[in-house]
Chains A and B, each alone.
Chain A
Amino acid sequence: QKEVEQNSGPLSVPEGAIASLNCTYSDRGSQSFFWYRQYSGKSPELIMFIYSNGDKEDGRFTAQLNKASQYVSLLIRDSQPSDSATYLCAVNRGTGGFKTIFGAGTRLFVKA
């Protein structure tokens, strides 16, 4: 079992729709969860981080965390073609856990 698992995609959604990206992780002790966006040929860029169960909203982005199910998701509302990128989920054990584990990423394609 991979430590951080994501569907590789591509996930294709029409412009204006909600894109839902999912991630599961294997370490129950994980405390910190991150979503990065990576455009082709570019470096990962932090979008959201979440530490507590529930939802966290920032503009068009909502991160959702369910530690009991070991599941974290990213919702993108009103998707735009400029959101087309690979989205990386990353998980850290927290205090003393300096090793952040990245998923392989989900490719999102937003059709105009």
Chain B
Amino acid sequence: ETGVTQTPRHLVMGMTNKKSLKCEQHLGHNAMYWYKQSAKKPLELMFVYSLEERVENNSVPSRFSPECPNSSHLFLHLHTLQPEDSALYLCASSQDFSNQPQHFGDGTRLSIL
């Protein structure tokens, strides 16, 4: 139990579907992150939120839309995805957004048909 919970664990969707990934942290942290992990590639930072304000959008296509309603919850809304978007999507949190370690959720394994 890492204190960061992601749902769903697995998701299969067609390219025209709309779905959302959810992340909740119970650690009292102020920063939350979305990462994409593809096979044999480094973790790719997608978005960073600090105290519900987006502080980083790492050139992510607009078909990915993040939402952070409060410091404990983070969503990633998906729309019109491409097959190359199939990957493991990881949520993480940290005490603040500088030099603190990040704690990861178990991830959502996303497959685009």
Contact = CB atoms under 8 A, between A and B. Distances in A.
Chain A contact-residue range equals: 20 to 34
B55 interface: yes
Contacts of B75: none
Interface stretch (A65-73, A76-84, A90-98): A90-98
Interface of A: 4, 8, 31-32, 34, 36, 42-46, 49, 51, 88, 90, 92, 94-105
B98 A104 contact: no
Contacts of B101: 34, 46, 49
Given A92-B98, A95-B98, A100-B45, A46 B40 contact: no
B2 A31 contact: no
A94 B102 CA distance: 13
Contacts of B45: 99-100
Interface residues of B, number: 24
- Name the residue in B43, B103, B104 with the highest tally of chain A Cβ atoms < 10 Å from its Cβ: B43
The 3 closest A-B pairs by CB, nearest first: A98-B97, A32-B99, A102-B43
> Which of B42, B45, B48 gathers the greatest number of chain A CB atoms within 10 Å?
B42
A44 B98 CA distance: 19
B42 A97 contact: no
Contacts of A94: 98-99
Contacts of B98: 32, 92, 94-98
A34 B92 CA distance: 14
